[in-house]
Chain A
């Protein structure tokens, strides 16, 4: 592996997940050496455990965090606001693979929805048209089924219930994808063996992640210096206010400095604003790139909720791909439903270990036992929809709680917006109707899990006062500082975010490479 000297001004990328891993590959492919600093270990697919709790403890980000606000997570999981991964590959190692695109109107929600009280809606500075070529590239990179000649995955048992229910209630836009897992061998990786483990990392490598594609290919260029177990704790700047280095802690607590020509932060939408806030200085007293006071605000986490339905015959939802089933009929803006924006329904399955912890947090008694007793006859789906950005939904630094390095832990504050509540109630009701249409004998509304989709905390804006970064993800305040993950999303759309994160990272890499080569950075 290439070694880049600590005092060499390098392009430094913080995080190796969907955003950081993609950026590292695209830049090294374009001939630009990069240092990737990743807080977590370098685990390979064969290191994964097909066991829910063991895998969670192996890879989830479990550093100290706190919560506040009226969302149910603050009560159910007060120290686990989000489920994200700390390892090379980031959360793409645990993700499931659903890859819908944003729709045209979702880039201009302020214009389309109008003013929504309490929401800080804003149009993106870019359009679908502008992003479309990068969506193509991202789908090809990730091998999305149903796209660019990739065949669909077959129907698994959970999908059979889901799709038949969809048909019976009159939905049309159901399919087994788009889903970034191979139905047939593609891109030097095998077809899915439907082993039922996605959220634990895919031992079979059929599922796209930056661990199986971008990171190894970036290493092959000979231009990537990948440093696992390296947690960035501060970004420093020079007298002109340009970033000039990052400081990071190794796994033994040793401090290191890496000089930087440019810094690209892709730590996921809680750690990214936390790092900027931790990097305050005399020149940037409210945190780096925060003259707008927008760093950490407008935190979004998608609507989410699940419905588990019981039948009098076996389903065995756990056999097969976890989320290879999508219904898009409700993913439209139709205010006659009582809310703005839309949502998707997606198949979902948990094993008994996770179902017990998440189906009804805090639940016990005969009703709870009934949910578990029906396990083999249960079908499940997830609801994922657009939530409203709000200024007060926000990542801040804790005054009291410190992480293992003594750094202020992030607090995640979230209040559901009335629109979120209206959409969730509507979605629950329609999910239950769908299952009733195929003979469910009972169903259960499961509240949101710790957030897997974390968005918006360094949002993209045309005007510097409205957000943190510009149309390229470049900080309005600092010309050689970039944000390269889902934090840049101006609004969240209904779609699962990763395809969009990857498309934005490919687009950013193209811009950054040109700027670096032109000597502008």
Chain B
């Protein structure tokens, strides 16, 4: 994820981070350090950032503390840290409500994304295609076919 001049741009206190591209990229970078997947590209992380902004806007009080924490993150130069340093920084704020909001929103957003499913190799709903019964539900071929009946002597 590009991080070039982002640190500079968010140094000012942003009241509406959802409308601020640098803030969006900063949060996306945070999510990417928390859940690093080389194959995901930028888009799923940016979509997750949008969901986080929506969650953070639930009440004015929550929004105020969120933008303050975001400001701190920018001030710490997070956007320009390498992966190891960024991970270390996040470990230092792991117990904050800000981190908790980002984590809990990400867990139900990033992995609930059809593009991410495809990258992870999950094919999702199959009912309309007749299920997987003729589409590989039993195509694993690197182990022998096991018994499916109950063990005779055990009955």
Contacts and interface: CB of A to CB of B under 8 A. Distances in A.
A474 B34 CA distance: 54
A100 B33 CA distance: 44
B34 A364 contact: yes
Given A155-B146, A160-B145, A194-B133, A318 B35 contact: no
Interface residues of A, number: 55
Contacts of A195: 125-127, 131-133
Interface string A151-173: 01111110111011001000011
Contacts of A351: 117, 122, 124
A320 B37 CA distance: 27
Given A152-B149, A352-B111, A369 B137 contact: no
Most buried by A among B112, B125, B146: B146
A333 to B, nearest CB: 16
Interface residues of B, number: 44
A353 B112 contact: yes
A291 interface: no
A315 interface: yes
Nearest to B116: A352
A176 to B, nearest CB: 4
Contacts of B64: none
B121 A50 contact: no
B121 A314 contact: yes
B151 A194 contact: no
Contact of B111 (A50, A176, A355): A355
A149 interface: no
B36 interface: yes
A10 B130 CA distance: 44
A155 B148 contact: yes
Interface stretch (A91-99, A196-204, A485-493): A196-204
Interface in B69-112: 87, 103, 107-108, 110-112
Contacts of B154: 172-173, 328
B51 to A, nearest CB: 12
B148 A153 contact: yes
B77 to A, nearest CB: 21
A313 B143 CA distance: 10
B142 A173 contact: no
A156 to B, nearest CB: 5
Interface in A339-363: 351-353, 355-357, 362
A112 interface: no
Contact of B133 (A175, A193, A313, A373): A193
Contact of A175 (B116, B139, B144, B150): B150
Contacts of B61: none
B121 A353 contact: no
A146 interface: yes
Given A155-B145, A155-B146, A196-B132, 10 more contacts: A51-B124, A157-B140, A194-B137, A314-B140, A316-B123, A318-B123, A352-B111, A353-B111, A368-B35, A369-B35
20 contacts: A50-B125, A157-B137, A159-B148, A160-B138, A160-B146, A163-B146, A164-B146, A173-B150, A192-B133, A193-B126, A193-B132, A194-B137, A318-B123, A319-B135, A320-B138, A352-B116, A357-B108, A357-B111, A362-B103, A372-B111
